[in-house]
């Protein structure tokens, strides 16, 4: 059930600074299409897709069995403003969030908490990318 990515998502994946062994956090992964594409580009890297929707996570898991069996791709139901790393879970090199309401400026309190949580989940020098650029823009996490 490997669906082709939309041109928009393919452009976003192409623009990400992906490399071998990178650890990626995808926020708002939906049914997992972008996470599956990323997992195929990161060698022995790791990607965690989170989404607040249980249905989206069910769809992501159902459509990603092959990639999940490699141990490189996992999904977890979590709202970004409540997201925390599991005990002993490694930090991420980059985070990417496409069409995530908690980061679109409409909910400042949720956005601040979300950015704080993302900053805590990233390695020093880690980067957050969201849509709204061409095709991406980086959100500075220094204040968090």
Residue given tokens 């069996």 in the structure block = 69
Q: CB-based contacts of 14: which residues, under 8 Å, 6+ apart?
A: none
Mean pLDDT of the chain: 94
What pTM, to 2 d.p., does this model score? 0.95
CA-to-CA distance for 84 and 40, rounded, in angstroms?
25
Radius of gyration of the chain (CA): 14
What secondary structure letter does DSSP report for 53?
-
Per residue in 56-85, pLDDT (tens digit) is 999 999 999 999 999 999 999 999 999 999
Mean pLDDT of 126-138: 93
Mean pLDDT of 32-52: 97
CA-to-CA distance for 29 and 56, rounded, in angstroms?
8
- Decide the pairing of beta strands 136-139 and 23-27: unpaired
- Predicted confidence band of residue 3 (pLDDT cuts 50, 70, 90): low
Residues forming beta bridges with residue 137, ordered by sequence position: 130
Domains and CATH numbers, the chain: 13-139 (3.40.50.150)
pLDDT at 110 over 80: yes
pLDDT at 2 over 80: no
Other CB atoms within a 10 A radius of the CB of residue 30 amount to 19
């Amino acid at each position: 059930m490997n669906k082709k990515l939309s041109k928009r998502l393919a452009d976003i994946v192409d623009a990400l600074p992906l490399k071998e062994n990178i650890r990626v956090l995808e926020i708002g992964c939906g049914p997992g299409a972008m996470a599956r594409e990323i997992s195929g580009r990161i060698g022995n890297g790791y990607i965690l897709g989170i989404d607040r929707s249980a249905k989206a996570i069910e769809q992501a898991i159902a459509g990603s069995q092959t990639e999940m069996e490699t141990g490189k791709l996992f999904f977890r139901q979590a709202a970004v403003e409540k997201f925390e790393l599991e005990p002993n879970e490694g930090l991420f090199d980059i985070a990417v969030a496409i069409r995530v309401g908690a980061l679109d400026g409409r909910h400042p309190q949720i956005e601040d908490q979300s950015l704080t949580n993302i900053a805590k989940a990233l390695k020093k020098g880690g980067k957050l990318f969201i849509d709204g650029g061409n095709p991406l823009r980086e959100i500075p996490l220094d204040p968090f």
